[in-house]
Structure 1
Amino acid sequence: MSTPLKIDFISDVSCPWCVIGLRALDQALEYLGDDVDAQIHFQPFELNPNMPPEGQDLNEHIFQKYGSTPEQSRANREQIRERGAELGFVFKEGDRRIYNTFDAHRLLHWAELEGKQHALKDALFAAYFSQHADPSSHRVLADTAQKVGLDRTRAEAILASDEYANEVRELEQLWVQRGVSSVPTIVFNDQYAVSGGQPVDVFVGAIRQVLDEQAKLVHPAR
């Protein structure tokens, strides 16, 4: 019998390690098969909440934020590309910009209500990292929503308004208050957290541990 597992995946659509973490988590769940009945909820986190509409050149941004040299930045991106390729994801080479992602999070909030949050998250990652599209562009967001079977007209109406803005801000604050300061952070059953773009086997081990703990609570040793 499958054991229910609640997974909160706290991330940003402009975070490459979040792509790697999600791909590895999905593969871990696939490996565990019928042992787990997982429900993934994507929770909002903005790496750059004050990013202006025009965005910023990636190299410039990384130097300003982390002090990384262009060489360090290139080496890091190469590592990310290799990890992505191992997991079947293409990180396209070339210059890129960092953008504000608040509207993407609003759309993801709506997509969960429509049962298409995971599909939209995957498609937004592909749009940004594989196609270098602008995830703050309402046209790009509406195109991406339509691509995964969401209603384009409804998506455009949400983007043109401030619908779900309060809900997203409240969730962002909630996870910061719970101690999340970097992404991805993956929380299992509101209790156990794994941080970073971990390999598949790390997620398999963590999930098995959570399931074992859960089994002990349900059937404590007499």
Structure 2
Amino acid sequence: MTQPMKIDFVSDVSCPWCVVGLGGLEEALRNVGDLVQAQIHFQPFELNPDMPPEGQNIVEHVGQKYGATPEQSATNRAAIHARAADVGFTMKTNAQSRIYNTFDAHRLLHWAGLTGGQHELKRALFDAYFTQNQSPADHEVLVAAAQAAGLDGGAAREVLTSGQYADDVRAAERHWYQAGISSVPAVIVNDRYLISGGQPAAAFEKAIRTIAAETAAAAG
């Protein structure tokens, strides 16, 4: 019997491992077929909430935040690009790419979660940032991503210019922080099970099958 499965995917638009993790999760769900009927809810997390609108060069940022040298940054970037390619995603970030503030992108994702098309918008935002090297702080980029996801561009623009859902996003961010989420991606299944990091499909599939079996056993 197919089981309903609630999946909260806590992530940031500018998090490369979140791209890898989402790809792995999507593949795992395809692999388990009709074992579960998953509902994925994308939840907000800001890696750099104090980042100004103009952003910061990625090499400079990683050096300041993590102490990585430019050479280490390039090596890590290549490794992440390879992992992304494994899940069918093309990353084109480079030494000239920038880190941006993503709060408005999360507001738009919250709106899409209410109206439909959130998953498609998340994918479009990943593409805009990681493949097109566009700024998720730019409202024109966000409106274009909404349209690419099949959403109403005019309605998206209204959300962005009005400041709608700012309180909702901040409340959600506080909720996940207070729940102990300090790094992303974090995947919470059925409000109970935590899967951390950009796991490969096999790891997600194993977890999903285990959770489904435990849920079925508990239901008798």
TM-score above 0.5, yes or no: yes
Query: What is the number of residues matched between the two proteins?
Result: 219
Instruction: Return the offset for 1:64.
Output: 0.5
The 5 A counterparts of 1:17-56 are 17-56=17-56
Displaced runs of 4 or more, over 2 A: none
Partner of 1:130: 131
The 5 A counterparts of 1:169-188 are 169-188=170-189
Matched-pair contact (CA < 8 Å) for 2:61–2:99: yes
Please list the CA deviations of residues 10-30 of structure 1 after superposition, one character each: whole Å capped at 9, or x if unmatched.
000000000000000000000
Q: How many angstroms apart in 1 are the aligned matches of 2:59 and 2:139?
A: 25
The RMSD of aligned alpha carbons is 0.7
Instruction: Return the offset for 1:113.
Output: 1.2
Range moving further from structure 2, 88-97 or 166-175: 88-97
- TM-score scaled to structure 2, two decimals? 0.98
Q: Percent identity?
A: 58
Partner of 1:88: 88
Q: How many angstroms apart in 2 are the aligned matches of 1:124 and 1:177?
A: 26
Range moving further from structure 2, 127-136 or 89-98: 89-98
* Partner amino acid, structure 2, of 1:69: T
Q: How many angstroms apart in 2 are the aligned matches of 1:49 and 1:93?
A: 20
Partner of 1:12: 12
Partner of 1:102: 103
Q: How many angstroms apart in 2 are the aligned matches of 1:105 and 1:59?
A: 24
Residue aligned with 1:6, SS: strand
Q: How many angstroms apart in 1 are the aligned matches of 2:156 and 2:93?
A: 30
Structure 1 residues 93 and 178: CA distance shift in structure 2, 3 A: closer
Please list the CA deviations of residues 86-128 of structure 1 after superposition, one character each: whole Å capped at 9, or x if unmatched.
1110011432000000000000000111210000000100110
Q: How many angstroms apart in 1 are the aligned matches of 2:191 and 2:219?
A: 17
Instruction: Return the offset for 1:72.
Output: 1.1
Partner of 1:114: 115
* Partner amino acid, structure 1, of 2:80: I
* Partner amino acid, structure 2, of 1:47: L
Please list the CA deviations of residues 136-164 of structure 1 after superposition, one character each: whole Å capped at 9, or x if unmatched.
10000001101111111111111001100
- TM-score scaled to structure 1, two decimals? 0.97
Matched-pair contact (CA < 8 Å) for 2:8–2:42: yes
Q: Which runs of 5+ in 2 are unaligned?
A: none
Partner of 1:163: 164
Q: How many angstroms apart in 2 are the aligned matches of 1:211 and 1:155?
A: 37
Q: How many angstroms apart in 2 are the aligned matches of 1:147 and 1:122?
A: 10
Matched-pair contact (CA < 8 Å) for 2:93–2:133: no
Q: Which runs of 5+ in 1 are unaligned?
A: none
Residue aligned with 2:194, SS: strand
